[in-house]
Structures are given as structure tokens and as C-alpha cells.
């Protein structure tokens, strides 16, 4: 590995390359330890840091937020929801709260009902993951997943008895759904794209 051209190898500095795993994948950070050389200004060191996904949160400062939260990013931070994430559901009350709050920010909610030992669920999982990472859905869609083996009350509440099932909610109302791995493979993207507008 070679150092950045603006950093000279000397005894006063030690470079450490850290990989920090976060929920946004890995970020690459360069840390310089040691004393500052009088002949070198550390402020002049310019090292680009590239994120796997540079489009984490964008908010518009020109328009007044339509939610009780200052910005959509603040809402996402508060509820631990970021573009590209599939939030794992742990309770019925959590689902209800997310669906209710998403109506305040005019976001679509996609809820994936999955189960243990379900080959169609396993087949569609990477497709659902890729769908959640599409830039066109950033800040427009919240992607959720609930394992009905662990939380049968959530499936019962929403009337789901086959998996995988994907339900789409807007303004706290169920607006569409799709059942089955093959059906979701072919039809989930157009369904989400239509309702995300």
C-alpha cells in the first residue's frame, strides 16, 4: 500500500488505516498520530474518503418540513431508519409506530413477512435488499422485515398467512400487497415504484 502523495514518510508521523464497520457499510478513515512538523502543515493534507453509499441522507433546506420533526433525516435518526436499511421488526407496536410516523413524512412503508425454513423467502431476500438500496427510493420508502416465526402476532394482525408476503402502506392504509417469491421477484419493484411517487 502506498501513502497519499501529500504525506511524506517520516519519524514524526504514523499512519493507521482503520476500517470502521457501521450500519452504512465500511468507511475508510486515515488517522495521523504524532507531533506536527514545523515545516509541514497538517491542514494541507487532503485525502478523499469514499463511502460505499454517498447518498445516505439529503434534505431540502428550502422547503418547510411537513412533519413534526425538524427534517426527514432527524426523523430517520430518531427511529433508526436510513435509506438502504431494512429494519428488522421486533414487535407489533413498533410496526404500527413506524407506519403512523411515515405518514407524517409522506413515505411509503414496505413490510416483508418472512419465515424460517422458507426457500421462497430466502430466494427473495437478496432482491429485497437490493431494492432497498436503490437511490430512487431514498427517503421515499421505508423497508421493514418481520420474521413471522418469531412474531406471529404481527402476521395475525395484518391477516398474513403465506410467505413471503409484501404489504405496502401509505398514509397508514394498506395500498397494495404481493404474495409469493416468484410473484415478488417479477412484480415487487414496479409495485414499489408506482406507490413511491
Q: Which domains does the chain have, with CATH numbers?
A: 1-52 (no CATH), 72-196 (3.40.30.10)
Question: Which residues are marked as active site?
Answer: 118, 121
In this predicted model, what pLDDT tens digit does every residue of 140-177 receive, in sequence order?
A: 999 999 999 999 999 999 999 999 999 999 999 999 99
All residues at 6 or more sequence positions from 25 whose CB lies less than 8 Å from its CB, including other chains:
51, 52, 53
pTM: 0.60
Sign of CA dihedral 31, 36, 37, 39: positive
Q: What is the DSSP string of 1-50?
A: -PPPTT----TT-EEEEEEEEETTEEEEEEEEESPPPTT--GGG------
In this predicted model, what pLDDT tens digit does every residue of 3-61 receive, in sequence order?
A: 444 444 433 333 333 333 333 333 333 333 333 334 343 333 333 333 333 333 333 33
Amino acid at each position: 500500500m502506498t501513502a497519499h502523495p501529500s504525506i511524506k514518510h517520516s519519524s514524526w508521523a504514523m499512519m493507521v488505516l482503520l476500517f470502521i464497520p457501521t450500519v452504512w457499510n465500511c468507511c475508510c478513515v486515515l488517522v495521523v498520530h504524532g507531533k506536527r512538523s514545523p515545516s509541514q502543515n497538517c491542514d494541507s493534507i487532503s485525502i478523499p474518503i469514499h463511502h460505499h453509499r454517498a447518498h445516505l441522507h439529503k434534505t431540502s433546506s428550502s422547503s418547510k418540513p411537513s412533519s413534526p420533526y425538524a427534517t426527514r433525516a432527524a426523523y430517520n435518526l430518531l427511529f433508526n431508519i436510513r435509506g438502504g436499511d431494512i429494519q428488522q421488526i421486533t414487535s407489533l407496536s413498533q410496526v404500527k409506530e413506524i407506519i403512523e410516523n411515515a405518514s407524517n413524512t409522506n413515505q411509503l412503508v414496505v413490510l416483508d413477512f418472512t419465515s424460517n425454513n422458507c426457500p421462497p423467502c430466502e430466494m427473495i431476500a437478496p432482491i429485497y435488499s437490493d431494492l432497498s438500496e436503490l437511490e430512487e427510493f431514498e427517503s421515499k420508502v421505508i423497508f421493514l422485515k418481520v420474521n413471522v416465526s418469531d412474531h406471529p402476532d404481527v402476521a395475525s394482525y395484518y391477516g398474513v398467512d403465506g410467505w413471503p408476503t409484501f404489504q405496502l402502506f401509505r398514509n397508514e392504509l394498506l395500498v397494495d400487497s404481493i404474495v409469493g417469491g416468484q410473484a415478488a421477484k417479477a412484480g415487487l419493484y414496479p409495485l414499489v415504484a408506482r406507490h413511491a411517487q
